[in-house]
Amino acid sequence: MDWKILADALFPGGHDIVEHEQFLNGSARVEGQDVSVIGTTGHAPIGVEIALAQAKAVLATVRSHPGRPIVLLVDTQGQRLRHRDEMLGINSYMAHLGKCIDLARHMGHRIVGLVYDQALSGGFITSGLMADACYALPDATIRVMGLPAMARITKVPEEKLVELARSNPVFAPGPENYLRMGGLQAIWEGDLAAHLAHAIDNAPREDQRSALGLLRGGRKAAQPVIEAIIGGSNARAA
């Protein structure tokens, strides 16, 4: 989806979002309150420049607009695969972005992510998946890695991965599978402005993804392991 069409649907109260080299930034109105909008478009590869631009925008909101909700619009092909970015330490820049988003959360900012087109690998992990809750449009593409590439890396035949993808959402792309695993809170259809307003008002204060994955049957081990670790820690402390 074109980001301008999306912005008009999400923010009927108005916005001043601008695009600069696939980086989106600006403010908007959601049911009478101002929100900061930060994101990417055009299947942006996340290199050093965009990672720093997003981090800077998050910190600017924390500094100048305490408590203002932040909306992350996600359309990325993942980290930029260039020797220059690897040598500059793109992993550290992306980690910095994730830490800035987490700082904003701890400073009282509600953070909502929306995958409106494409979300791949590290570009998704350090943006939408760092939000209090992440959502997606029905036609969004979400995956860690394409099955052909996964087959080349893991040496598992692609036919076997296709078979596994039918029963295990970890291997399968698409928003429905990430919904089953708890990575997405919901898939939005219909009135996007109403969905966004509700998401901001009801942004969870604790990470619910493992619990949702267990409840929905797409990620069965994570929550029991977390509970066992917490239970063991509490027993030792007592």
Cα-flanking dihedrals φ and ψ of residue 6, to 5°? -60, -45
**Distance in angstroms (rounded) separating the CA atoms of residues 25 and 198:** 22
Q: Write down the pLDDT at residue 80.
A: 84
Rounded to 5°, the CA angle 59-101-13 comes to 75
Whole-model pTM? 0.89
Query: pLDDT at residue 170 above 80?
Result: no
Q: Write down the pLDDT at residue 238.
A: 58
State pLDDT tens for residues 104-159: 999 999 999 999 999 988 888 889 999 999 999 999 988 877 677 778 888 999 89
Tell me which residue of 153, 115, 121 sits closest to 46, measured CA to CA: 121
Instruction: Kindly give the interhelix angle for 158-167 and 147-154, rounded to the nearest 10 degrees.
Output: 120
**Distance in angstroms (rounded) separating the CA atoms of residues 223 and 208:** 10
Q: Which amino acid is at 86?
A: E
Q: Are 73 and 24 in contact (CB under 8 A)?
A: yes
**Distance in angstroms (rounded) separating the CA atoms of residues 99 and 68:** 18
State pLDDT tens for residues 55-105: 999 999 999 999 999 999 999 988 888 888 888 888 999 999 999 999 999
Give me 192's structure tokens. 């996007």
Say what percent of the chain tops pLDDT 70: 95
Query: pLDDT at residue 232 above 80?
Result: no
Cα 108 to Cα 67, 122, 158, 163, 216: the distances in Å are 5, 25, 45, 44, 29
Query: pLDDT at residue 186 above 90?
Result: yes
Query: pLDDT at residue 37 above 70?
Result: yes
Q: Which amino acid is at 187?
A: I
Say what percent of the chain tops pLDDT 90: 68
Cα 128 to Cα 78, 148, 201: the distances in Å are 12, 25, 18
Tell me which residue of 168, 150, 163 sits closest to 213, measured CA to CA: 168
DSSP string, 150-200: HHHHH---HHHHHHHHHH-TTT--SHHHHHHTTS-SEE--S-HHHHHHHHH
Q: Write down the pLDDT at residue 143.
A: 80
3-state secondary structure of 212: helix
Give me 134's structure tokens. 């992440």
- pLDDT confidence tier of residue 7, bands split at 50, 70 and 90: very high
Q: Write down the pLDDT at residue 237.
A: 63
Q: Write down the pLDDT at residue 14.
A: 96
Q: Write down the pLDDT at residue 117.
A: 95
Count of CB atoms within 10 A of residue 146's CB? 14
Query: pLDDT at residue 174 above 90?
Result: no
Query: pLDDT at residue 47 above 80?
Result: yes
Query: Over the chain, what is the mean pLDDT?
Result: 91
- pLDDT confidence tier of residue 43, bands split at 50, 70 and 90: very high
Query: pLDDT at residue 228 above 80?
Result: yes
**Distance in angstroms (rounded) separating the CA atoms of residues 218 and 31:** 34
3-state secondary structure of 232: helix
